[in-house]
Structure 1
Amino acid sequence: MSFWDIVWFIFISFAFVAYLMVMFSIITDLFRDRETSGVVKAVWIVALIFLPLITALVYLVARGGGMSERAEASALEAKARQDAYIKEVAGGSKAPTEQIAEAKAMLDAGVISQAEYDRLKEKALV
């Protein structure tokens, strides 16, 4: 095996990986787009299967500008859902006064001890 065979193999491997990345990006963008109908999505997928290079180039020219906008919107939506989940789990949705009032009610009812109340109060104020 010569030096140029190795260089050619590296180049072809790079081109194949780049091709796969473009295909997965296009397919991800197709399924992320809620404005495009299912029939149009099916046509794009069939075209990607039978004429992959030409279809990929046409897709990138015709719809490439919106790909980043859809990816950004999807990322922002996922971040908002994650933040809401974290707030729900961490109990950060309640104001400190509400948390302290609930802890005081539990202390008065005898559910928690004075030490637990003090710990909950300190946690709410932090």
Structure 2
Amino acid sequence: MNDIAGPIAATDYPLLNIFWTMLWFFLWVLFLMLIFRIIADIFRDDRLGGWGKAGWSIFVIVLPFLGAFVYLIARGRGMGERDLQAVQKRDEQFRAYVRETAGAPSSTDELVKLARLREHGDISEAEYEQAKTRVLA
């Protein structure tokens, strides 16, 4: 009686079956990521009311394949636009934080410095106006 099941079991699962198993697992994970992204988009959308959010959520949860495909067809373009707006908002917040943290001079500080330079005669009136328009631009 041979009790060694390990090597026999390993030879019963060919390489092509391993490939198909990995492919199906990858597609399953991809689909779950899509479902989570759709649900996040549903709740991120400000133009969609509470009942609309509830309806889409139930549709996507109860019938995930059909719900995901219908949502992507009906609201896919808006999904991309909302993603773009969110990225732009985060980028602007990051840039504002960096400017604030780095101590970048504000336009008011720059204008005060230019006025002092003009008062002391270090720059002419034309240079002052040119620098002022550059600061205010």
TM-superposed deviation, 1:3: 2.2
Structure 2: gaps of 5 or more residues: 1-12, 114-137
Structure 1: gaps of 5 or more residues: 100-126
TM-superposed deviation, 1:98: 5.7
1:91 lines up with 2:99 in the alignment: no
TM-score w.r.t. the length of structure 2 is 0.65
**Partner SS state of residue 104, structure 2:** coil
Match of 2:60 in 1: 48
In terms of Rg, which structure is larger? 2
> Residues 13 and 98 from structure 1, CA distance in 2 versus in 1: closer, same or farther, beyond 3 angstroms?
farther
Separation in 2 of the partners of 1:48 and 1:41? 11
State the number of aligned residues.
99
Separation in 2 of the partners of 1:27 and 1:34? 14
TM-superposed deviation, 1:74: 0.7
Q: Which has the higher contact order (CA 8 A, sep 6+)?
A: 1
TM-score w.r.t. the length of structure 1 is 0.70
Separation in 1 of the partners of 2:78 and 2:105? 35
Match of 2:73 in 1: 61
Match of 2:122 in 1: none
Separation in 2 of the partners of 1:79 and 1:87? 12
**Partner SS state of residue 28, structure 2:** helix
RMSD: 1.8
Match of 1:29 in 2: 41
Decide which moves more: 89-98 or 39-48.
Answer: 89-98
2:28 corresponds, among 4, 10, 16, to: 16
**Partner SS state of residue 34, structure 1:** coil
